[in-house]
Chains A and B, each alone.
Chain A
């Protein structure tokens, strides 16, 4: 199974900061990678798919990049509603689909 390793596991930031989260795959996944945001007690929300495509309705301060084994999610200017947990998912090689362990932004 392809393993996804996110870094950092937690990140302390302030409103207005630019933050970057990394997701590394144990094998190449091309661009078959998505990023989700999850707030406590809520269902995850997709932000980015195919490594860099912004999901409809997601603010443009979110962006994704990468190919193969290294990917990043960036938030250009943190807003109060962005404090959440973010995780990546690969859908290149199944089964199984796999997820990163999550990055808590606080």
Chain B
């Protein structure tokens, strides 16, 4: 069983950046796929990208190329999602979710982090 705890809600101005953390406990952090997805108000889910800590190289969806950086710190079993050049459309709940298999189904989810982008 993997337990994921995300950092708290954030409010940012347009053009700024935000960094959300996701700390894992239980399981083998290094070998899991850590995914980041977001859900805008009243909308479905959008996969942003993912990383397997032991491999190191993240995968991103094209929509976020250049704005998104996903990293991990294996010493603390923590993953990070850094999104810059924020705009109002980035207002959403951001989730980390773990796949026990290579970019497979999401077995465990963090509690979500609300990011509000407003001037």
Contact = CB atoms under 8 A, between A and B. Distances in A.
Interface residues of A, number: 21
B59 interface: yes
A43 B109 contact: yes
A99 B112 contact: no
Interface in A66-97: 87, 89, 91, 94-97
Tier of interface size on chain B: 20 to 34
A34 B59 contact: no
Contacts of B49: 95
Given A43-B95, A43-B111, A97-B35, A91 B44 contact: no
Given A34-B106, A89-B105, A91-B104, A98 B47 contact: yes
A16 interface: no
Interface of A: 1, 32, 34, 36, 43-44, 46, 49-50, 87, 89, 91, 94-102
21 contacts: A32-B104, A43-B109, A44-B106, A46-B106, A46-B107, A49-B104, A91-B103, A91-B105, A94-B103, A95-B47, A95-B49, A95-B61, A95-B62, A96-B61, A96-B63, A97-B35, A97-B103, A98-B47, A99-B44, A99-B46, A99-B47
